[in-house]
Amino acid sequence: MTTRTSRLVARAPRSFAWWVLATAMLTTVATIPGQTVGVSVFLDYILADLGASRSTVSLLYTVGTLVASFALPFVGRRIDRHGPRVAVGVIAGLFAVACVWMAGVQSLWMLAVGFILIRGLGQGSLSLVSLHVVNLWFVKRRGLAVGMTGLGMAIATVGPD
């Protein structure tokens, strides 16, 4: 098996893997709108706008998470087939559309679809491709790299309080 290296990687002054890690950390942080910490900020507004109970919205969120999780094995196969560079662009674009969808939610069925989309694309797929690319680029220091990716997410979700 031959390894292909781009001109950018060949000219990089330091190991390109650390740039990949920084990018993976940023894309992991970009998953926040699909994470519970991102959704919870808007929960009271969702409840007020839709006139729904907290338990109904929580049920829709749980169902959305479960339904979205079933798509992840197929997403993983697509990432393997097309590569993480293409996959991250497509997933991030679709996730942006899902966030716009959530901004226009006017009914419970739209909220359910929105939860499926943001959980599947943000929390699921974007996280998957971010960790996948870290695992591709790191062998000797893989544990450190994955840990740093998680640390970046932890730092990003800490509030000012």
Cα–Cα distance measured from residue 30 to residue 98, given in angstroms and rounded to the nearest whole number: 13
Which one is predicted more confidently, 55 or 9?
Answer: 55
What's the average model confidence in pLDDT over 45-67? 96
What mean pLDDT value characterizes the chain? 89
Quote the pLDDT of residue 6.
60
- Select from 98, 125, 97, 103 the least CA-distant residue to 113: 98
Which one is predicted more confidently, 153 or 67?
Answer: 67
The full length of the chain comes to 161
Which one is predicted more confidently, 156 or 130?
Answer: 130
What's the average model confidence in pLDDT over 133-159? 85
Q: What percent of the chain has pLDDT over 70?
A: 89
Quote the pLDDT of residue 157.
79
Cα–Cα distance measured from residue 98 to residue 105, given in angstroms and rounded to the nearest whole number: 11
Cα–Cα distance measured from residue 113 to residue 104, given in angstroms and rounded to the nearest whole number: 12
Quote the pLDDT of residue 45.
95
User: Do residues 149 and 20 make contact, with C-beta atoms less than 8 angstroms apart?
Assistant: no
What string of H, E and C letters represents the secondary structure of 140-153?
Answer: CCHHHHHHHHHHHH
What's the average model confidence in pLDDT over 24-53? 93
- The enclosing H or E element of 136 equals helix 127-137
- 59: amino acid identity, one letter: L
Which one is predicted more confidently, 126 or 140?
Answer: 126
In this predicted structure, the answer to whether residue 74 has a pLDDT above a threshold of 80 is yes
Quote the pLDDT of residue 141.
86
Please, what is the Cα angle at 93 between 58 and 67, to 5 degrees? 30
Percent helix / strand / coil, the chain, rounded to 5:
80, 0, 20
Three-class SS of residue 116?
Answer: helix
- Using alpha carbons, list the distances in angstroms from residue 158 to 77, 141, 153, 154, 161: 33, 26, 9, 6, 8
Residue written as tokens 């109970």? 53
Quote the pLDDT of residue 12.
59
Quote the pLDDT of residue 161.
56
Quote the pLDDT of residue 1.
47
Banded model confidence at residue 139, pLDDT cuts 50, 70, 90: confident
